[in-house]
Amino acid sequence: MSKLSTTFLGHTFANPLMNASGVYCMDATDLGALHTSDSGSYITKSCTLEARAGNPEPRYRATPLGSINSMGLPNKGYGYYLDLARAHDYSHKPLFMSVAGLSLADNLVMMRTIRDANLPAIVELNLSCPNVPGKPQIAYDFAAMDAMLAAVTKEYTRPIGVKMPPYFDIAHFDEAAAILNRYPTVAFITCINSIGNALVIDTESESVVIKPKDGFGGIGGDYVLPTALANVNAFYRRCPEKRVIGCGGVKTGEHVFQHLLAGASLVQVGTALQEEGPGIFARLNAELIALLDRKGYKNIDEVRGRLKTL
């Protein structure tokens, strides 16, 4: 066991790093690159019942401080990812599947089929897609979120995780956590999805930079690190029976360390992976090891949740 190895939901991970769903995970080529990378695990693109082409391009743009996207859930349909999950070599690294049905009924169909396939893949149920025109995020509608979790956890009784959007108010942390705590099989919480519906403007062209939704899209990268850390720590404190996966603003080993301090068990990489490619995992692992060594930590489990307050 190396310094970076850890266990999560009964699976062993060589290190805490993985992609954020949406990045490098649309098809077998992308996922193959993650498989051979130095990530500890990886996750498939959020899937729907049927394949989708997604929103018109350009629909992703990098900026000096991060990225903006409004992809619109392009994906190959859940059957494609389920077939890959059937063929996956779980002894090499664990695999997550992201599920993002356009309705409760669609999620139930997908979750039943995934259940019946009886695979070691871990489901992350996406409650926070901000980019499908006319479909508000479930996790910003607490009654809808509660109803979704009640129905899904009744059908799918194995442990699952939920991908959450950022919240910005203590009352919302309290309410969201109270709902999640009603569902013991919600075993992990991934914080955060992009900060939704932001607007990047290019001064020279006096224009938006992505085509869908008049330029509105979810932002990631440097813009979101403090919001991500706050959400990780807020849910870590409020949901002691659950694990937290950190996601947001990670581009150095130091950022991974900060997510671990805030309470993350695993850490996802989005914008920085998109910009740097899967070679980023070797760099982040090396930077994290150097930081753990300098601080005298023997493993990452010692770091988790150790954040000090003043």
Q: Using the rule CB under 6 A, which residue among 193, 227, 271, 285 binds ligand DHB?
A: 193
Question: Are residues 197 and 218 in contact, defined by beta-carbon separation less than 8 angstroms?
Answer: yes
Instruction: Say how far apart CA 108 and CA 250 lie, in whole Å.
Output: 32
Q: Closer to ligand DHB at the Cβ: 26 or 288?
A: 26
* Binding of ligand DHB by 274 (CB under 6 A): no
Q: Using the rule CB under 6 A, which residue among 128, 268, 271, 274 binds ligand DHB?
A: 128
**Residue 309 buriedness (CB in 10 A; 0-12 / 13-18 / 19+):** exposed
# residues near ligand DHB by CB under 6 A:
17
* Binding of ligand DHB by 215 (CB under 6 A): no
Q: Closer to ligand DHB at the Cβ: 74 or 305?
A: 74
Q: CB under 8 Å to 67, separation ≥6 — which residues?
A: 60, 61, 219, 220, 221, 270, 271, 274, 275
Q: Using the rule CB under 6 A, which residue among 161, 218, 249, 253 binds ligand DHB?
A: 218
Q: Closer to ligand DHB at the Cβ: 219 or 288?
A: 219
Q: What number of CA atoms fall less than 13 Å from residue 194's CA on the CB side?
A: 25
Q: Closer to ligand DHB at the Cβ: 3 or 140?
A: 140
Q: Smallest distance, Å, CB 46 to ligand DHB?
A: 4
Q: Using the rule CB under 6 A, which residue among 15, 19, 67, 126 binds ligand DHB?
A: 126
* Binding of ligand DHB by 48 (CB under 6 A): no
| Geometric angle at alpha carbon 11, from 7 and 16, rounded to 5° | 50
Closest CA to 56 of 72, 44, 43, 42: 72
* Binding of ligand DHB by 73 (CB under 6 A): yes
239 is annotated as an active-site residue: no
Q: Closer to ligand DHB at the Cβ: 131 or 285?
A: 131
Structure tokens given for 42:
């990886």
Q: Please list the alpha-helical segments (H only) found in 127-270.
A: 142-155, 170-181, 225-238, 253-262
* Binding of ligand DHB by 258 (CB under 6 A): no
* Binding of ligand DHB by 130 (CB under 6 A): yes
How many other C-beta atoms are found inside a 10 Å radius of the C-beta of residue 128? 24
Instruction: Say how far apart CA 205 and CA 210 lie, in whole Å.
Output: 13
- Span from 35-43, 129-137, 144-152, 180-188 in contact with ligand DHB (CB under 6 A): 129-137
Catalytic entry in 25, 129, 239, 247 = 129
Q: Smallest distance, Å, CB 211 to ligand DHB?
A: 13
Helix (H) or strand (E) holding 160: strand 160-164
* Binding of ligand DHB by 72 (CB under 6 A): yes
Instruction: Say how far apart CA 130 and CA 190 lie, in whole Å.
Output: 15
What DSSP letter does each residue of 18-55 carry, written as one string?
Answer: EEPTTSS-SSHHHHHHHHHSS-S-EEPPPB-SS-B--S
- Span from 72-80, 144-152, 267-275, 278-286 in contact with ligand DHB (CB under 6 A): 72-80
Question: For residue 291, which amino acid is it?
Answer: L
* Binding of ligand DHB by 129 (CB under 6 A): yes
* Binding of ligand DHB by 71 (CB under 6 A): yes
Applying CB under 6 A, the residues found at the interface with ligand DHB are: 22, 46, 54, 70-74, 100, 126, 128-131, 193-194, 218
